[in-house]
Amino acid sequence: MKFFIDTANLDDIAEAQALGVLDGVTTNPSLMAKEGITGEENILNHYKKICDIVDGDVSAEVIATDFDGMVKEGEALAALHPQIVVKLPLIADGIKACKYFSDKGIKTNVTLVFSPGQALLAAKAGATYVSPFLGRLDDISTDGLNLIAEIRQIYDNYGFSTEILAASIRHTMHVIDCAKIGSDVMTGPLSSITGLLKHPLTDIGLAKFLADYKKGNE
């Protein structure tokens, strides 16, 4: 299972990278705005900074909602750095643009996916990644994990190579449940990765090992 971090915060990205388990980064316009990154030039420079920190794929989202605009923006994003993946919304023009980029060998991440049918369309259009939003479904009393499971079944039925990128992950149990279902990738905040480290018995056990060592070596 690949671990992506879902942020535009360079410190968080560097911390996850330093842990040695990071496979990529996802961003979106809201996450860029949260870091105060505005204006086309600053946004493009920020993507380059992210690519310099991580080794893996970095999803950069288009703002345009029409095919021509998505192609223009996506080509500019892809030209920025070989690690850039063009992130496209699941709307008709987004699917058309996904097919366009996939035919050109440019990686894509189709985002804002909330149903198995949408995920099927993304796979048919050759998406590299499909991003079902787990947490946002949970927010409206709908089983987000079930969506991941349904997409897994559909993709396995036909051998689609599109990777399921479980997005809108909020906490460690989302990560573990997605791993059980067989999601190819998860993307979440730094806390959803570092939270996996925590267990009180680990801390208690380590303290005892160190105390026993100290006693025996006084």
- Residues annotated as catalytic (active site), given as ranges: 87
Cβ burial, residue 82 (10 Å; 0-12/13-18/19+): exposed
Q: Are 152 and 183 in contact (CB under 8 A)?
A: yes
* Rounded Cα–Cα distance for residues 115 and 117 (Å): 5
Q: How far is the CB of 26 from ligand G3P (least distance, A)?
A: 5
As measured in angstroms, the least distance from the Cβ of 199 to ligand G3P is 25
> Is residue 168 within the footprint of ligand G3P (CB under 6 A)?
yes
Token pair recorded at residue 95: 């699917």
**Alpha helix positions (H), the chain:** 10-19, 29-34, 40-53, 67-80, 92-103, 116-124, 134-139, 144-158, 172-181, 190-194, 200-216
- Among the listed ranges 45-53, 63-71, 129-137, 176-184, the one in contact with ligand G3P (CB under 6 A) is 129-137
Shortest CB 65 distance to ligand G3P, Å = 17
Q: 10 Å Cβ neighbour count for 194?
A: 14
Question: Minimum Å distance from CB 161 to ligand G3P?
Answer: 21
Nearer to ligand G3P, 33 or 211 (CB): 33
Judged by beta carbon, residue 26 or residue 108, the one nearer ligand G3P is: 26
Interface of this chain with ligand G3P, residues 133 to 152, rule: CB under 6 A? 133, 135-136
Residues within the interface to ligand G3P (CB under 6 A): 6, 26, 28, 131, 133, 135-136, 167-168, 187
